[in-house]
Structure 1
Amino acid sequence: MSEIRYDRLHDDYVIVAPERLHRPDCAHDSGKESRKAARNCPFCEGHEAMTPPEIFALRDRGEANGPGWRTRVVPNLYKAVRIEAPRQSHGRGPYDLWEGFGAHEVIVDTPRHLLRMDAWTVAERRDWLSTLRSRLVDLRRDLRLVYFSLFKNHGRYGGATQSHPHSQLIALPTIPESLLARLHTARHYRQAHGHSLFQGVLDYEEESGNRIVASNEHFLAFCPYASQYAFEVQILAKEAGITSLVDLNDAGLEALARTIGKTVAALYRELGDFDFNITFNTPPMQKSVQTDEWYEEIPQFWRLGLRILPRLYNGGGFELESGMRINPVVPEEAARLLRDGK
């Protein structure tokens, strides 16, 4: 029997409808592209001349823009926004237009071509997270940038256009309304209940236990009560005051790397080779007109989290028109499979 569940963290409703799991053409093939030769890949080690000059790298040896790196960051060759653009706005009748100012970077996660994320070592996951953290620390020095989107697309249905493991960072001078709404929801919840919404979710999930996938001292991985995607997993920091990767020390990065590793391994075990997205819920990192009233309160009501979103099933007109998703896999059953492997 289907249910309509409310996703409080994202302020949205989801229809959980297991009856639709076996409808014709519900699941799509991952449609993996052929394993093209690594010699054509601009992100492989030794092909540094095929990308713009690097912005940042973790290296064992060698010089900038040469081999010897563990992770590498370059400007996106097909950037959505550019740091060189003026930060200006213009009126267009009833519309507003801003110049395309911002930053758009590609993080090459590993030199190893076509490496599935479940095959990464702990050190590789830690290097990846450390690189993301370093880019946030650097870009937030530009006081014009207030919103930072960290994400990883994998596979055709995850929106990836390169098969070599990579992530992206887009930084903008304005905060999307969807994030502002979530921030307001979290702030109002704390004002009404005396504790953060994230802490309430953590406490409830740990008490009930039936949606937990993995847990350690620092992080909890679970299938959200109102999962928007089949086999969606959310990972939340347990410690108050940890609002983004910037707030994690090296021990915290290690704990997060291990939690991600255990979760991704469970997903690959159950789903095979699947397409997915990973998103981080980074809050605003500069005070602006949009956040001036409550910016200093963010550590009290926000908590670092990331979502692993398998892209297994096609959406349709209802999802597009309503903004609500239909999830054919009950989150409690997804968590049981990922946790127990049975």
Structure 2
Amino acid sequence: MNGKFRRRRLAILEILKQHEGPVISHDIAYALNQRGLDVSERTIRLDLQEMDRQGVTLSHGRRGHRLSEAGLAELHLARTHERVGFLSSKIDAMTYAMTFDLDRCAGEVVVNTTLCASDQLRGALGEIAAVFAKGYGMGQLVALAEPGERIGEIDVPARMIGFCTVCSITLNGILLKHGIPVQSKYGGLLELHDGNPVRFAEAIDYRGTSLDPLVIFIRGGFTSYRSAIRTGNGLIGASFRELPADAADPARRLAAKTDAAGLGGFYRMGAPGCELLGIPASAGCCGAVVIGGLNPVSIMEERGEHVMATALSGLLPYARLFPYTELPRRLAALTRRLK
């Protein structure tokens, strides 16, 4: 199947999916032309004959065609394949887009946004504070968004609030602006014993997933932050990154300065070409481990509270962020204002 026909075929399947009943070839051709695909009605008829033969569409005579179960499955599989690598591309885009200036502590940083009810957040405040206090959160700063606000791609709906945490990709952006490229390799679960990291118990390659690995682990119930903050033993979210070995020393200094600004730094950093917490670094590179920005949010899921967490949700001015210790007061003030 050539690439041009495959794109047209998937577009036809998408159009049929949007309709409950059969669609005639004239309407399909019109819709495709509206999308910028220059195609004739005759071409669509020939495509549909072949697709009927293969069982991905069903003919209803003069009434048109509709999508079959096989066609729906093909469409879902194709879109899944297209989304693989999307997250890695998004990381690169957000890294370039952020405008934060470390020397002035001004500009925009990358944040994660979790939509939840104020009561859900209020009930977890103590444990969320413990996550930050133990050093299991990215930095020390958070933000709150009101109903009706938009944080990047996320709209905060009525009767909910947005809880924003610093995304660890912010560190990538700061290093890049100082001439140090960082590659995000894996997102995973870091195993802790007595408060110390032992190894990556799970790791997902960013290039092979369409979802943030930590979101996958949070929704799957694989984390154990409550145990980590109480006993020092558990599984917490972290990512493995690589940077040029020659840039290791300036990267450490910049990460320390970033941490001092409340945005978080390196959790651990390895020697050139050496293994770090069970993951080997490439030749000429140093491995580095960065804490997951969504870690504080996992507490709510572990408490049985279903929330909607989105990693890399957008950019937020640094001035909007405040220390996590102010979260109880700020949340109470926001709740009163919304009543």
Tell whether the structures are fold-level matches, with TM greater than 0.5. no
**TM-score interval, smaller chain:** under 0.3
> So what's the TM-score if we normalise by structure 2?
0.23
Compute the TM-score of the two structures, normalised by the length of structure 1. Answer: 0.22
Instruction: Identify, as 1 or 2, the structure richer in helix.
Output: 2
